[in-house]
Amino acid sequence: MLKGAWLRHTFLPDDVGRGIGWSYTNMAAYAPNLEGLYIWILDDDDLCIRPTFYNDLLDITEAHNPDVIMVKMDHGPRGILPNKSWGKRPVQGDIGCSAYVVRREVWQAHAKYFSADYAGDFSFIASIFAAHYNIRWYNVIASRVQQIGLGKPEQAHRERV
């Protein structure tokens, strides 16, 4: 596999502070334009903390060719996600965008499930699990949240509009 074909960066900036609902809607709308083999979402308040993550993903995809790679994320005061659902179908409130890496074609097919509500990340991955794709579980913490807005930016934007 060509390593260069794997890696692309896409930024969907929200300079106004419209928040997670807007970003989920925007990600769904942008899905047809995505490039690369797999998609991993890092929200603006998430940070990749595993220096070897890219090479780890290359090894996993070469060895197992999964449609989805599940990892863990440190969600600060909410703990490690997914925790109670690790190794099983995700549950709402126990998942985040940076807890999964998805093959581009699968991501594009399910992007419509990224709804404008705060649980769009769950709706998206739940739709993928319901379709029974090849899922590989990789038990590492790949990212950490730097701050948690819990919808406050969205509320502030609604009040300004």
Q: What per-residue confidence (pLDDT) applies to 149?
A: 60
| Packed helices 20-30 and 120-130: angle between N→C axes, nearest 10 degrees | 40
Q: What per-residue confidence (pLDDT) applies to 11?
A: 67
pTM of the model: 0.84
pLDDT, greater one: 71 or 160: 71
Model confidence pLDDT, tens digit, residues 31-80: 998 888 999 988 777 899 999 999 999 999 999 999 999 999 999 888 99
Number of CB atoms found within 10 A of residue 80's CB: 15
Domains and CATH numbers, the chain: 35-160 (3.90.550.10)
CA–CA separation, 65 and 50 (whole Å): 21
- pLDDT band of 86, cuts 50, 70, 90: very high
pLDDT, greater one: 14 or 28: 28
